[in-house]
Amino acid sequence: EPEVTQTPSHQVTQMGQEVILRCVPISNHLYFYWYRQILGQKVEFLVSFYNNEISEKSEIFDDQFSVERPDGSNFTLKIRSTKLEDSAMYFCASRRGTGWAETQYFGPGTRLLVL
C-alpha cells in the first residue's frame, strides 16, 4: 500500500537555526498538508498546498514558515529561525483529490526538538 514518508524521523537543532523537514507524498496525490502536534496536545493544522501554491494556512504558520514542492515528489516545510516552542511532531499528509471518498493520509512524522 502506498504511504507518505518523512525524513528525518528525529531532528535536534539549536534555537535560531533553520530546519527543513521533508516529505514524499503518495505519488498520485495532488493536495499536501503539514500539521504539528506539541507533546500531549492535539494535532494542529499548519498549511495546505495545491497546484504549487498555498491554499490555506493557520495563524501558527507565520513568516518563519514556508513550504515548497521543489520537484515532482518532495514537499518540504522550512522553519527559518526555530524557537523553543517549535518543538513538536510535524506530520505531512496528502490527499488525492476532493470529494467525500478522498481522505488524507498521514506520514509517520518528524520529531523536532529545539534546544
Q: Under the criterion CB under 8 A, does residue 73 sit at the interface with other proteins?
A: no
91, 43 Cβ separation under 8 angstroms: yes
69 is an interface residue for other proteins by CB under 8 A: no
Q: Residue 50: CB partners within 8 Å, gap ≥ 6?
A: 30, 31, 32
Tell me if 59 contacts other proteins by CB under 8 A: no
Residue with smaller CB distance to other proteins, 18 or 105: 105
Q: Is 58 helix (H, G, I), strand (E, B) or coil?
A: coil
Binding other proteins (rule: CB under 8 A), the pick from 21, 31, 61, 88 is: 31
CB of 57 or CB of 78, closer to other proteins: 57
**Contact pick of 11, 13, 64, 104 for other proteins (by CB under 8 A):** 104
Among 14, 28, 52, 103, binds other proteins (CB under 8 A): 103
Least distance (Å) between residue 10 CB and other proteins = 10
Residue in 48, 82, 87, 94 binding other proteins, rule: CB under 8 A: 48
Strands (DSSP E) contained in 1-115 are: 5-7, 10-13, 19-24, 31-37, 44-50, 53-57, 65-68, 75-79, 88-95, 105-106, 110-114
- Assign 3-state DSSP to the chain and report helix, strand, coil percentages, each to 5: 5, 50, 50
